[in-house]
Amino acid sequence: MTTPTSKSSYSLYKPLAHGRYLVRRITDGELLLAEPLDLDPNIIHSTSTSEHGRTRTLLRHGACQPAAALLNHENLLCIYDELVAIPLTQEEEEEEEDVGGMRRNLVTRRMLVYDYCDMGTLQDLFDEHEPQLRTTLQHHQEQVEEDDGARCWGDTDTAAGGVHVGNIGTRRRHREKEVEEAIAPAGGFFPEAFIWHVALGLLRALQWLHEGVGDTYGVSTPRGIETFAPVKLGNFGKCWASGGVVKSMETPVVAMPEKDEVPLGLLRERAGRWKRDGFGLERSERPYTRGSELCAVGAMLYEMMCGRPLPPADECSECGCVHITANDAEESTPCDHDCVGDVNIQKVFEPLFQYTAGLKELVMHLLRLNYADNWYASTVLDHAWAGFESWAAKTEDGRLYRDTFDNIWLRRQNLTRLKK
């Protein structure tokens, strides 16, 4: 696959910004994203850069095929072709210029072809609903003011009872409380069907990374997740390869979030120190584990349910307190600083009547797994499927829900019927 064929399987659809292109796969018309690698000096005449040099070195050592094998799952942003020659029209060829202002004399470009995620990210949905949330807050505030005439909302300088809000942290805590009270009448923020859609897709993606190829993704964020059709996890700038055989001698998949290359022995040693010392271990010395990623998934699901971000799982950078607790957690001192409010992961979901117990239990469990290495994504996925199937069978919305799994099941049923 690393040698382009004589006739391209793709045709140019249109150029995009930042040197990327939309291309159409000739066999089925699928639109894909293509990014030039600029590796062939006989085709592209430009000044060599250190980035191009690193890319050439990686490709010379066969990096394309492992990357394509890694990104080969329906819930990941997939690589479709490693190096393909895609012809450009003469007009585009004449318009092309390299960084140094030299004109490129191209007929074809050798490109990396991967998924074109054009349906938005989870972060886009959060941003889209922010004005709606502000409207809800405004309406809620007007209702409160009719009752007691003493409260203001948002970025003003007074809070409940006319107490002066003297700093950003206090205003932030006050807004968190406002969001909680405003969402409570609706019983939740995003619909449960959509949350299950995201949860199952992310867990399947992490199952492939953790147990299929032995990698960690590296800090899941809403901006790296496409949410419509199959959920797709993208942005692999911080993906760490374990360098070992998956599940060999139960070796944990672990990394260090602040460093790109750390010896495996040191990773194991720091994972052991975390088990022994917990939060007493310096933050920069703490490992990044499967549990860290599962906890990050829980944090995103929490925001989808509650309409506000979860406080940091580690100590707060502003006050040094740990803001996430539970009824059965070890005794902890409530934070009384002016930063963010504490979150009891068992109590916080009680008012959210829109959601089933199975979804709440899944998110509570995920939020307990930070730094843990004794849980696999597949095990969590088994628990999630049980909750999802209960919701799908016992609720009106669940019985109406359809996704790609239903499509696959119906196709299989039809195929079985046709064979009879």
The distance of Cα 155 from the centroid of its chain, to the nearest Å, equals 30
Q: Which residues contact 235 (CB under 8 A, 6 or more apart)?
A: 77, 221, 223, 224
Pairing of strands 324-325, 343-344: parallel
Q: 230: which 2 tokens? A: 């199959």
3-class DSSP state of 74: coil
Q: 420: which 2 tokens? A: 């009879």
Quick: pLDDT tens for 185-204.
678 889 999 999 999 999 99
List the domains of the chain with CATH numbers: 10-114 (3.30.200), 122-186 (no CATH), 192-408 (1.10.510.10)
The pLDDT of residue 394: 94
Quick: pLDDT tens for 246-274.
444 455 555 555 555 566 677 777 777 77
DSSP states of 202-221 = HHHHHHIIIIIS-EE-----
Round to whole Å and give the CA distance between 111 and 6. 14
Q: Which of 141, 140, 184 is nearest to 348 (CA)?
A: 184
The distance of Cα 205 from the centroid of its chain, to the nearest Å, equals 10
Measured between alpha carbons, how far is residue 354 from residues 193, 349, 357, 390 in Å?
11, 10, 10, 15
Round to whole Å and give the CA distance between 221 and 204. 16
The pLDDT of residue 161: 38
Supply the pTM of this predicted model: 0.73
Count of alpha carbons within 13 angstroms of residue 374, beta-carbon side: 4
* First-to-last C-alpha distance (Å) of the chain: 40
pLDDT in tens, the chain (420 residues): 444 444 678 888 888 887 788 989 888 888 998 887 755 444 444 445 566 667 677 777 777 777 777 777 888 888 888 667 777 654 444 444 443 444 444 456 677 888 888 777 888 888 887 766 666 555 555 554 555 444 433 443 333 333 333 454 555 555 556 666 666 667 888 999 999 999 999 999 888 887 765 455 444 556 555 545 678 887 766 666 655 444 444 555 555 555 555 666 777 777 777 777 777 777 777 777 788 889 999 999 999 998 888 888 887 777 878 778 877 766 566 777 777 778 888 888 998 999 999 999 999 999 998 877 778 889 999 999 999 999 999 999 988 888 777 777 777 778 888 876
DSSP states of 21-59 = EEEEETTT--EEEEEE----TTT------HHHHHHHHHH
